Amino acid sequence: MSAKALLSDSYAEDCLWQAQVPAPSSSPTPLPSTVDVLVVGSGYCGLSAAHTIALGGKSVAVCDTERVGFGASTRNGGMVIPELKAGPGTLAESYGDLGRQMFRDVNEAFDLVEKLAEDHDFDYVRTGMLHLAHHASRVRDLRAEAAEYKAEGEDVRLLSKDDLAEEIGSQRFHAAVLHERTGALHPAKFHSVLAERARGAGATLHARTRVTSVERRNGAGFRATTIRGAVDAGDVVVATNAYADGLVPPLERRVLPVGSYIVATEVLEPALAKEVSPRGRMFVDTKNLLFYWRLTPDGRMAFGGRRSLRHPTLEEARDFLYRSMVETHPQLRGIRVDYAWGGDVAMTLDRMPHFGRIDGVLYATGCNGSGVGLNTWMGMKAGEVSLGGAPPAFATLTHRAIPMHRWRSAWLPVAGLWFRLQDRTLLDRQGR
């Protein structure tokens, strides 16, 4: 197969979701010089925090370095999966009651999105998700995964290779766990809904307003400096996830930004879309450097993943994903790519989300690739804590710095190579 992706005439190095939904505009009011709470970052987390705080009767301003919603919140795969790095049984084994509470919380985050979908249109559908064994040796792990979730009363099913014929137009997979409690949404529409809710509650949104420093004031509160002037704030919520810059250095050192990329094809003929994905499920495989893919609301295939942990060029990422998509679904050979884009996910050392205060400011971070529901929920929790509420269970986890964070561009490719070799060795052994 050609090493290059087949591109349509209208191909753009652009994000499909952002091309379909204009970014929420900045508030017409100038940045206030005093505010009860300043929120840094205008993704799901920052907007959700701002909404909660404004509803609580406090004044709140949200700043973003770029346009409103520049970060992962308008670039992601739109899969709403109530998951942490491990299943409920393993979480309980590793963390005891804390593990059980964290599993309840991630489910509460999922419910929050479904509740919002009752009153707002962001193309939400309860689709279910297939976790697909990319190698025969992973079937045993999937059996254990299904048992863990079943023990919690979750609606999951282990599907054999034969069962998969009704679920996915691909011969590559050996089995799958079907998780019914998964949904799909349009990321930028969801983001716009959160922006409107925050604004409707009284928050102001300020694009192209990078916050460059935050210092505690003598007495109480903080003085933040932005490129548009200083803001005195009673409290500060930092909702920068993978896009954490040097604003709060200890936070930056605790988050590893890792690139993730997506290609979206031209709109598929309905019969072809049905052949590839008969039930419109979300698909995720079991590799270390996994693929995730789905049909979009307008009937394209969106295929995402990464080849390594270094940041490749968008062209390299696109060509790799296109080849992988066609290897997975040979019936998509000849289908052209309309869009290719990337964004950063926030990895943490223990691959868990984290929440708390660093240098006095509130923060929530560490989606580890699954933050559509969770970061929205953590933003709401950050708002509640700023209003005097109790922090969530994630706040009790120790949030360790990433070793040799400053030299990550040197060691990340090596770590990525190791993951890729593990994935590759399994596939080579079965002759692919």
Ligand X SMILES: Cc1cc2nc3c(=O)[nH]c(=O)nc-3n(C[C@H](O)[C@H](O)[C@H](O)COP(=O)(O)OP(=O)(O)OC[C@H]3O[C@@H](n4cnc5c(N)ncnc54)[C@H](O)[C@@H]3O)c2cc1C
| For ligand X, the closer CB: 88 or 369 | 369
CB of 258 within 8 A of CB of 242?
yes
Secondary-structure breakdown of the chain: helix, strand, coil percentages, each rounded to the nearest 5? 35, 25, 40
Asked if residue 17 binds ligand X (CB under 6 A), the reply is no
Asked if residue 210 binds ligand X (CB under 6 A), the reply is yes
* Dihedral, CA of residue 415, residue 142, residue 353 and residue 190, to nearest 10: 110
Asked if residue 52 binds ligand X (CB under 6 A), the reply is no
Asked if residue 78 binds ligand X (CB under 6 A), the reply is yes
Q: Alpha-carbon distance 99 to 408, whole Å?
A: 30
Binding piece for ligand X, criterion CB under 6 A, among 30-38, 99-107, 271-279, 369-377 = 369-377
Asked if residue 243 binds ligand X (CB under 6 A), the reply is yes
* Dihedral, CA of residue 140, residue 144, residue 145 and residue 149, to nearest 10: 150
Binding piece for ligand X, criterion CB under 6 A, among 4-12, 76-84, 193-201, 411-419 = 76-84
| For ligand X, the closer CB: 372 or 426 | 372
Asked if residue 293 binds ligand X (CB under 6 A), the reply is no
Asked if residue 99 binds ligand X (CB under 6 A), the reply is no
Output the smallest distance, CB 271 to ligand X, in A. Answer: 26
Least Cα distance to 325 among 263, 369, 274 occurs for 263
Asked if residue 65 binds ligand X (CB under 6 A), the reply is yes
Asked if residue 128 binds ligand X (CB under 6 A), the reply is no
Least Cα distance to 381 among 372, 373, 390, 369 occurs for 390
Asked if residue 64 binds ligand X (CB under 6 A), the reply is yes
75: β partners:
none
Q: For residue 229, give every residue at least 6 positions away whose Cβ sits within 8 Å of its Cβ, in sequence order, or none.
A: 31, 33
Binding piece for ligand X, criterion CB under 6 A, among 19-27, 67-75, 106-114, 323-331 = 67-75
Contact residue for ligand X among 26, 192, 204, 260 (CB under 6 A): 260
Asked if residue 43 binds ligand X (CB under 6 A), the reply is yes
Binding piece for ligand X, criterion CB under 6 A, among 77-85, 129-137, 149-157, 409-417 = 77-85
Write out the H or E segment, with its range, that includes residue 345.
strand 337-347
Asked if residue 392 binds ligand X (CB under 6 A), the reply is no
Q: Got the DSSP string for 25-65? A: PPPSSPPPSEEEEEEE--SHHHHHHHHHHHHTT--EEEE-S
CB of 334 within 8 A of CB of 234?
no
Instruction: Give me the numbers of helices (H) and strands (E) for the chain, helices first please.
Output: 11, 20
Q: Alpha-carbon distance 72 to 43, whole Å?
A: 7
Q: Alpha-carbon distance 310 to 326, whole Å?
A: 23
Beta strands at 34-40 and 291-295: parallel, antiparallel or unpaired: unpaired
Binding piece for ligand X, criterion CB under 6 A, among 22-30, 72-80, 117-125, 314-322 = 72-80
Number of residues that bind ligand X (CB under 6 A): 42
Write out the H or E segment, with its range, that includes residue 273.
helix 270-276
2-30 burial code (b ≥16 CB/10 A, e <16): eeebbbeeebeeebbbbeebebbebbeee
Binding piece for ligand X, criterion CB under 6 A, among 102-110, 308-316, 340-348, 383-391 = 340-348
| For ligand X, the closer CB: 106 or 393 | 106
Output the smallest distance, CB 376 to ligand X, in A. Answer: 8
Binding piece for ligand X, criterion CB under 6 A, among 316-324, 327-335, 367-375, 390-398 = 367-375
Asked if residue 240 binds ligand X (CB under 6 A), the reply is yes
Asked if residue 239 binds ligand X (CB under 6 A), the reply is yes
Asked if residue 40 binds ligand X (CB under 6 A), the reply is yes
- Tokens encoding 94: 């590793």
Q: For residue 217, give every residue at least 6 positions away whose Cβ sits within 8 Å of its Cβ, in sequence order, or none.
A: 223, 232
Report the site for ligand X in 401-430 (rule: CB under 6 A).
none
Contact residue for ligand X among 77, 89, 356, 416 (CB under 6 A): 77
295: β partners:
301
Asked if residue 371 binds ligand X (CB under 6 A), the reply is yes
Q: What is the number of the residue whose Cβ is closest to ligand X?
A: 371
Q: 3-state DSSP call for residue 425?
A: helix
Asked if residue 75 binds ligand X (CB under 6 A), the reply is yes
Q: Alpha-carbon distance 310 to 285, whole Å?
A: 21
| For ligand X, the closer CB: 79 or 178 | 79
Contact residue for ligand X among 107, 127, 204, 241 (CB under 6 A): 241
Q: Alpha-carbon distance 334 to 332, whole Å?
A: 6
Binding piece for ligand X, criterion CB under 6 A, among 85-93, 104-112, 242-250, 398-406 = 242-250
Residues in touch with ligand X (CB under 6 A)? 40-46, 63-66, 70-73, 75-79, 81, 210-211, 239-243, 245, 247, 260, 262, 304, 343-345, 367, 369-372, 375
